[in-house]
């Protein structure tokens, strides 16, 4: 009970009221829902098989038969864009989810326990953050082979330190709050305090950051593809499609449409993230209120 | 002393030419290239991009005409004799050739250059493998003695690595042609920003990965070239080269890909030159059953050759591409006519598979280096092969690999089924003997004297030492047909090669050896 | 704690970090299942066992791993970063050429993003939830949401090819030689040498790449500035300032912005650090030979000494940036000084 004195940072009813005052966030949610729907029902919506090649019809511009044109192997770009979310979206989510979990574990321990463990954690995360991701990603790709899974691994390895540090600093700032002291005084065990009291208060800022980072992850995938480290070439992944199309900029439809897909998804996620921040921050809530 | 002074004057002239302000009348040529070389030491020259520099700055004993590689014509050597047994070549040098610092060319410079190239043991040194010795009985005569008859030796001598350097100058800078040159030669550093050649240009400056600048050689012994200065700018992306050419910032784009050709052709300010290249794109099928699995079976190998859609592969590769009949590219003496090549025949392919015991097909990994070789995107080709093979029941799992990793596996013979390319090391069909058992590629396919059919071994040994062109052509024909039946390879296509340049440029000619002769260009 | 003690502590802590980085770089390079001989020797040379043996001996590739590592560290302490296997030039020399290019680009990029970001952020906070707020946020988000190499190409297509407003790829026009080397940054060096046309050309070549590079961080800075300003604007001392009758603009700029700056400084520092570690994608499209490109090529050709060298350099840059940010914190927040 006492642990809940400071109310849960996200009040759902309030959010629905606020939605009207925050149209960008609503747009963001709608766009995300649409893309999730498209990815789930791609089979029903897409006019062609995304892998079906038609060499003699390659590199043709948008037409009645192919609304978004065809690519270097004659595959329908529209269908590939529709299927593309199936790889890009879960990949981005997975990276951030893994990074968050790993980061939280380390960050919580470091922040809560403090002292030597904390110092070690800070140094350890610094090594990872300072290390150039290019070299790390290329090494992983070389060692394990270029593929979506390995790209996810590479990105997770580089990303979790961010979360570790955020969670750590959040834990530290929450740690010194009164209700934590009271919990101590009552005799609650450290683990209990950590899980019941401290961590729930870290959820909101971490969630905001995570939402924004999913977009980032999708962008970095595209970048890794450009460097040749991404998923298998035949798979319709947006980042891969954009980078494959760079050399063919006269055939502008190759890069533009998947690029727009990435743009819309990431912007939507950004709107949502910003909106969440506005809603969860008690000070801005007060001003709204 | 006088030589040094002259050299210094020549160099400072070059540097002044480079200084802050550029004279209005100076003619400058700017070339856009994806730089692939790291050294300007010609004795180590191995990369195609480097030819732009070496061919303008140095000369070789013999050379090709400007637009073909089928004839050998005199260059620094005005004539030569070949002994009856084909083991001794005697060259007579021109007497009017001077180096960029004014020194006259002597046979001693040739001896030095050849020995240095061989003893540096760098990438191109294998070209001198058949050379036993090189001597200079007098100032204008060079005697080359071989270890065995080598019909390709003259073609090899045209390589940049056999460029003739000024022995005195290079020695002064720490160069040596002794046996231990690999450890003791220190001239490479100097050669990076200077040159000691007989060509129409000299190296003025080399900024690695940025640009290479050449300036006119004031002491050139032949017809002066048109441009006063040549700047070779490193533009690694083909899309950036295209943009720069369209905007007029560069005069020639060296790395044009097939899909850009149509857009260039529609542009009135730009000319495009397309032709078939000598690169061969092919499938490797490991002859060792433990590594190759199903594809080590000659019946399966032939089935795969029948399964591919060659016409579509050619269409995929774009303008200028062609399908060679076998493992000798079109354009080489003795290559089979393309009409003798395979055409897709899915029924035959399936029948062969059934005969081999794979009526239900099989699954196999198709490994390949995931990179783009001058417009040929290996990933795209692999996907096409995958689609074709699927039609006869073979499921090929694409395994893209980091280029270095793939190259390593390939060279160690550890790839079972993979996609690769081959560029000729020199312009003679003899180079393709490397695909035969125990050759460089043969070894990588684990196709050696131990497991090969004696018939092909016999053919191979015969053609290696044969000198008569007619007999050679016949032998190569037989070899190619044999490979079509039983060889562990599938030739896919020869990609086209394309160049684009501003319309006001004259004198453009393409030669497979040095690609574009910058010294012949004018405006 | 006192400033000099703080500095000393941080600098000392850099040492184990660098050792850590060098270990990681070394282990990573050696876990790639490919041989640098394959990467750096041609087809035939690699098939000749004698040449391969000579190559391996020359680069010490046959020594056991720990010997290789210790040899490298020993040389490093003497200031020798080794020689690149690929280009055969001293790595220190190469880094001295590549790093200034990235510094130039990153600095230009950060200037663009800070100016745009702070202006947008302040506008967005002050006129919160009005149309101008949404518009500004929308614009800044495009930079954050689009793949940077795509933006670069679109930028080149439109601004270079169609409109001819900016020059093409590269740091200078091909026909203009580089200024004499002082810092390695063409803008500064050409100024120092008095070459005005070179200076102008170098600045022109910086325009588009810095715009593209700055697009992403400007979005971040906008967001942070906005949220930070919002927080500050609602604070009590702001109300005090207003009630004193001070002009609104004065209130915002003097009192609001100064306190809002701290988290902004963090983001700027982090962004600058990441830009410095090499925006390889932008550098590729613009043919800008910087550290990002260098790291990429080193990794691709398994150039071990180069991989080690560039990893350590990037790490140092990152750590130094962190330190500067922390020092700025210290300076901006009087409370910390008493700590």
User: Which pLDDT tens digit goes with each residue over C261-277?
Assistant: 767 777 777 777 777 76
Q: How far is C187 from chain A (nearest CA, A)?
A: 27
d(CA C308, CA C91): 10
Residues of C in contact with B435 (CB under 8 A): none
Residue located via tokens 């417009």: B375
Q: Identify the residue with better confidence: A233 or B431.
A: B431
Residue among A139, A255, A270 whose CB faces C299 most closely: A139
pLDDT the model gives residue B482: 93
The dihedral through the CA atoms of C150, C156, C161, C165 has a sign that is positive
Pairing of strands B362-369, B394-401: parallel
Q: How far is C216 from chain B (nearest CA, A)?
A: 22
Q: Which stretch of B195-209, B398-412, C108-122, C245-259 has the lowest confidence by average pLDDT?
A: C245-259
pLDDT the model gives residue B199: 94
Q: How many CB atoms lie within 10 A of CB B405?
A: 24
Give percent of chain C with pLDDT exceeding 90.
Answer: 6
Q: Is the ipTM of this complex over 0.85?
A: no
pLDDT at A272 over 70: yes
In this complex, do B30 and C175 lie within 8 Å of one another by their Cβ atoms?
yes
* C300: nearest CA partner in chain A: A138
Residue located via tokens 């800044």: C140
Highest mean pLDDT among A109-123, A142-156, B23-37: B23-37
Residues of C in contact with A138 (CB under 8 A): 296, 299-300
Highest mean pLDDT among A225-234, A246-255, B152-161, C165-174: B152-161
Q: Identify the residue with better confidence: C325 or B288.
A: B288
Residues of A in contact with C150 (CB under 8 A): 222, 242, 246, 255, 259
Residues of A in contact with C319 (CB under 8 A): 126, 130
What value does the mean pLDDT take over residues A123-130?
A: 78
pLDDT the model gives residue C255: 62
Q: Identify the residue with better confidence: A264 or C338.
A: A264
Residue among A141, A234, A251 whose CB faces B402 most closely: A141
Residues of C in contact with B188 (CB under 8 A): 88
d(CA B192, CA B205): 8
Instruction: Please list the helix, strand and coil fractions of chain C in percent, rounded to the nearest 5, in that order.
Output: 75, 0, 20
Q: How far is A130 from chain C (nearest CA, A)?
A: 5
Q: Does C157 touch chain A (CB under 8 A)?
A: yes
C125 Cβ neighbours under 8 A, 6+ residues apart:
C225, C226, C227, C229, C230, C233
pLDDT at A10 over 80: no
Tokens at residue C98, please?
Answer: 């590549």
- Among B35, B213, B243, most C C-beta atoms within 10 A, so best to mutate, is B243
pLDDT the model gives residue B286: 94
d(CA B9, CA C100): 33
Report the first-to-last Cα separation within chain B, whole angstroms: 39
pLDDT-derived band at C250 (thresholds 50, 70, 90) equals low
Residues of A in contact with B384 (CB under 8 A): 53, 55, 73
Q: Which stretch of A91-95, C40-44, C120-124 has the lowest confidence by average pLDDT?
A: C40-44
pLDDT the model gives residue B298: 92
pLDDT the model gives residue C14: 80
Q: How many CB atoms lie within 10 A of CB A185?
A: 9
pLDDT-derived band at C256 (thresholds 50, 70, 90) equals low
pLDDT the model gives residue B442: 92
Residue located via tokens 């070394």: C26
pLDDT the model gives residue B15: 46
- Asked if C116 and C144 count as a contact pair (C-beta separation under 8 A), the reply is no
d(CA B281, CA A84): 30
Give the DSSP per-residue string, B348-392.
HHHHHHHHTT-TT-EEEEEEEE--EETTEEHHHHHHHHHHHHHTT
Q: Identify the residue with better confidence: C78 or B452.
A: B452
Helices (H), chain A: 12-19, 23-40, 42-45, 77-113, 115-130, 133-144, 148-175, 178-186, 190-192, 199-226, 238-246, 253-280, 282-288
Give the DSSP per-residue string, B263-277.
HHHT-TTEEEEEEE-
What value does the mean pLDDT take over residues A235-251?
A: 81
Tokens at residue C43, please?
Answer: 């087809």
**What average pLDDT does the structure give for chain C?**
80
pLDDT the model gives residue A79: 93
Q: Does C260 touch chain A (CB under 8 A)?
A: no
- Asked if B318 and B402 count as a contact pair (C-beta separation under 8 A), the reply is no
In this complex, do B260 and A250 lie within 8 Å of one another by their Cβ atoms?
yes
d(CA C312, CA C330): 27
Helices and strands, counts by H and E, chain B = 18, 22
Residues of A in contact with C11 (CB under 8 A): none
Pairing of strands B489-493, B376-377: unpaired
Residue located via tokens 């089935």: B303
Residue located via tokens 């480079």: B18
**What average pLDDT does the structure give for chain A?**
79
d(CA B323, CA B339): 9
d(CA A77, CA B291): 37
Tokens at residue B495, please?
Answer: 């990609």
pLDDT the model gives residue C289: 84
pLDDT-derived band at A287 (thresholds 50, 70, 90) equals very low
Residue located via tokens 């600098």: C11
Residue located via tokens 């590199």: A59
The candidate with the shortest Cα–Cα distance to A77, out of A266, A255, A262, is: A255
Interface of C with A in 105-144 (CB under 8 A): 129, 134, 137-138, 141-142, 144
Q: How far is A229 from chain B (nearest CA, A)?
A: 8
pLDDT at A286 over 60: no
- Asked if C164 and B11 count as a contact pair (C-beta separation under 8 A), the reply is no
d(CA C140, CA A216): 15
pLDDT the model gives residue C321: 81
Which residue stretches of chain B have pLDDT < 50? Answer: 6, 10, 12-22
Q: What is the dihedral of CA A11, A13, A14, A16, to 10 degrees?
A: 120
CA B204: distance to chain centroid?
Answer: 25
Q: Does A220 touch chain C (CB under 8 A)?
A: no
d(CA B443, CA B435): 8
Q: Does C53 touch chain A (CB under 8 A)?
A: no
pLDDT the model gives residue A185: 75
Give percent of chain A with pLDDT exceeding 70.
Answer: 84
Per the DSSP assignment, residues forming a β-bridge with B133 are B145
Q: Which stretch of A25-39, B275-289, C49-63 has the lowest confidence by average pLDDT?
A: C49-63
Q: Identify the residue with better confidence: B492 or C48.
A: B492
What value does the mean pLDDT take over residues C111-127?
A: 88
Please provide residue B218's backbone torsions phi and psi, each rounded to the nearest 5 degrees.
Answer: -70, -20
pLDDT the model gives residue A245: 81
CA B235: distance to chain centroid?
Answer: 21
Q: Does C200 touch chain B (CB under 8 A)?
A: no
pLDDT the model gives residue B162: 95
What value does the mean pLDDT take over residues A246-251?
A: 77
Q: Identify the residue with better confidence: C37 or B93.
A: B93
């Amino acid at each position: 009970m006492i642990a809940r004195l400071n109310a849960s940072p996200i009040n759902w009813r309030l959010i629905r009221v606020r939605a009207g005052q925050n149209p960008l966030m609503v747009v963001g949610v709608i766009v995300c829902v649409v893309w999730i729907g498209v990815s789930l029902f791609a089979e029903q919506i897409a006019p062609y098989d995304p892998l079906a090649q038609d060499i003699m019809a390659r590199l043709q511009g948008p037409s009645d038969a192919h609304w978004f044109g065809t690519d270097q192997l004659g595959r329908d770009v529209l269908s590939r864009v529709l299927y593309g979310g199936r790889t890009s979206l879960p990949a981005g989510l997975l990276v951030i989810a893994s990074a968050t979990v790993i980061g939280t574990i380390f960050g919580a321990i470091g922040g809560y326990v403090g002292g030597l463990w904390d110092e070690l954690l800070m140094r350890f995360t610094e090594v990872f953050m300072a290390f150039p991701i290019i070299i790390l990603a290329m090494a992983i790709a070389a060692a394990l082979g270029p593929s979506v899974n390995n790209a996810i691994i590479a990105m997770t390895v580089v990303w979790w330190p961010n979360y570790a540090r955020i969670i750590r600093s959040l834990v530290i700032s929450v740690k010194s709050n009164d209700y934590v002291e009271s919990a101590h005084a009552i005799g609650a065990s450290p683990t209990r305090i950590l899980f019941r009291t401290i961590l729930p208060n870290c959820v909101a800022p971490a969630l905001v950051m995570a939402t924004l980072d999913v977009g980032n992850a999708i962008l970095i995938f595209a970048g890794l593809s450009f460097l040749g480290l991404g998923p298998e070439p035949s798979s319709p992944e947006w980042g891969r499609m954009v980078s494959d199309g760079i050399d063919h900029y006269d055939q502008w439809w190759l890069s533009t449409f998947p690029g727009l897909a990435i743009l819309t998804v990431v912007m939507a996620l950004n709107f949502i993230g910003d909106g969440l921040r506005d809603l969860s921050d008690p000070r801005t809530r007060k001003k709204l209120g | 002393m006088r030589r040094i002074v002259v050299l210094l004057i020549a160099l400072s002239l070059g540097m002044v030419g480079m200084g802050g302000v550029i004279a209005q009348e100076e003619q400058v040529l700017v070339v856009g290239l994806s730089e692939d070389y790291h050294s300007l030491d010609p004795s180590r020259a191995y990369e195609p991009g480097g030819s732009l520099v070496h061919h303008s700055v140095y000369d070789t004993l013999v050379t090709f005409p400007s637009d073909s590689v089928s004839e050998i014509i005199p260059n620094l050597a005005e004539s030569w004799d070949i002994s009856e047994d084909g083991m001794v070549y005697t060259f007579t040098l021109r007497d009017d050739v001077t180096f960029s610092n004014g020194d006259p060319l002597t046979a001693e410079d040739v001896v030095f250059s050849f020995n240095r190239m061989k003893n540096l043991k760098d990438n191109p040194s294998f070209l001198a493998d058949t050379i036993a010795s090189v001597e200079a009985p007098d100032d204008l005569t060079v005697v080359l003695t071989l270890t065995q008859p080598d019909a390709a030796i003259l073609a090899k001598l045209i390589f940049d690595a056999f460029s003739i350097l000024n022995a005195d100058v290079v020695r002064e800078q720490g160069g040596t042609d002794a046996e231990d040159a690999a450890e003791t030669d220190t001239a490479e550093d100097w050669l990076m920003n200077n040159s000691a050649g007989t060509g129409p240009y000299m190296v003025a400056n080399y900024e690695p990965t940025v640009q290479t600048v050449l300036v006119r050689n004031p002491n050139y012994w032949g017809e002066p070239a048109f441009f006063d200065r040549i700047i070779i700018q490193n533009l690694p992306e083909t899309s950036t080269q295209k943009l720069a050419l369209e905007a007029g910032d560069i005069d020639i784009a060296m790395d044009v890909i097939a899909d850009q050709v149509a857009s260039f052709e529609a542009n009135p300010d730009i000319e495009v030159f397309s032709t078939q290249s000598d690169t061969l794109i092919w499938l490797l099928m490991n002859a060792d059953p433990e590594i190759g699995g199903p594809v080590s079976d000659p019946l399966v190998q032939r089935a795969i050759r029948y399964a591919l859609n060659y016409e579509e592969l050619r269409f995929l590769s774009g303008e200028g591409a062609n399908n060679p009949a076998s493992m000798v590219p079109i354009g080489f003496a003795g290559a089979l006519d393309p009409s003798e090549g395979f055409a897709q025949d899915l029924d035959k392919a399936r029948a062969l598979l059934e005969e081999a015991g794979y009526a239900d097909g099989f699954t196999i990994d198709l490994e390949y280096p995931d990179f783009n070789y001058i417009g040929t995107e290996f990933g795209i080709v692999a996907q096409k092969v995958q689609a074709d093979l699927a039609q006869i029941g073979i499921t090929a799992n694409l395994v893209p690999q980091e280029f270095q990793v793939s190259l390593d596996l390939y060279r160690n013979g550890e790839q079972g089924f993979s996609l690769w390319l081959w560029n000729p090391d020199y312009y003679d069909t003899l180079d393709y003997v490397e695909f035969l058992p125990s050759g460089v590629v043969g070894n990588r396919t684990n196709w050696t004297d131990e497991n090969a059919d004696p018939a092909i071994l016999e053919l191979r040994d015969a053609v290696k030492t044969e000198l008569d062109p007619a007999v050679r052509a016949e032998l190569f024909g037989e070899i190619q047909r044999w490979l079509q039946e039983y060889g562990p390879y599938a030739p896919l296509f020869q990609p086209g090669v394309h160049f684009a340049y501003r319309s006001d440029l004259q004198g453009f000619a393409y030669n497979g050896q040095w690609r574009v002769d910058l010294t012949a260009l004018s405006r | 704690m006192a400033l000099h003690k703080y500095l000393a502590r941080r600098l000392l802590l850099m040492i184990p970090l660098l050792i850590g980085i060098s270990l990681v770089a070394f282990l990573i390079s050696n876990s790639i299942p490919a041989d640098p001989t394959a990467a750096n020797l041609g087809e035939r040379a690699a098939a000749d066992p004698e040449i391969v043996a000579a190559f391996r001996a020359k680069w010490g590739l046959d020594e056991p791993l720990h010997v290789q590592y210790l040899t490298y560290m020993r040389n490093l302490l003497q200031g020798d970063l080794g020689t690149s296997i690929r280009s055969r030039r001293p790595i220190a020399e190469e880094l001295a050429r590549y790093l200034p290019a990235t510094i130039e680009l990153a600095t230009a990029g950060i200037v663009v993003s800070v100016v745009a970001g702070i202006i947008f952020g302040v506008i967005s906070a002050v006129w919160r939830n009005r149309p101008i707020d949404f518009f500004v946020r929308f614009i800044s988000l495009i930079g954050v949401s689009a793949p940077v190499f795509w933006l670069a190409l679109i930028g080149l297509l439109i601004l270079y090819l169609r409109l001819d407003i900016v020059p093409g790829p590269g740091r200078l026009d091909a026909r203009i030689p580089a200024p004499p080397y002082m810092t390695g940054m063409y803008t500064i060096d050409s100024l120092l040498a008095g070459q005005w046309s070179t200076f102008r050309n170098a600045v022109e070549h910086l325009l588009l790449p810095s715009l593209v590079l700055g697009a992403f961080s400007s979005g971040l800075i906008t967001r942070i500035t906005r949220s930070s300003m919002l927080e500050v604007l609602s604070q009590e001392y702001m109300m005090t300032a207003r009630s004193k009758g001070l002009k609104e603009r004065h209130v915002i700029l003097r009192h609001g912005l100064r306190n809002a700056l701290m988290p902004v400084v963090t983001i700027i520092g982090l962004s600058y650090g990441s830009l410095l570690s090499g925006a390889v994608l932008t550098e590729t499209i613009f043919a800008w030979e910087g550290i990002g490109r260098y790291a990429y090529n080193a990794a691709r050709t398994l150039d071990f000494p180069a991989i080690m060298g560039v990893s350590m350099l990037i790490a140092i840059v990152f750590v130094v940036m962190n330190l500067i940010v922390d020092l700025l914190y210290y300076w901006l927040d009087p409370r910390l000084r008493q700590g």
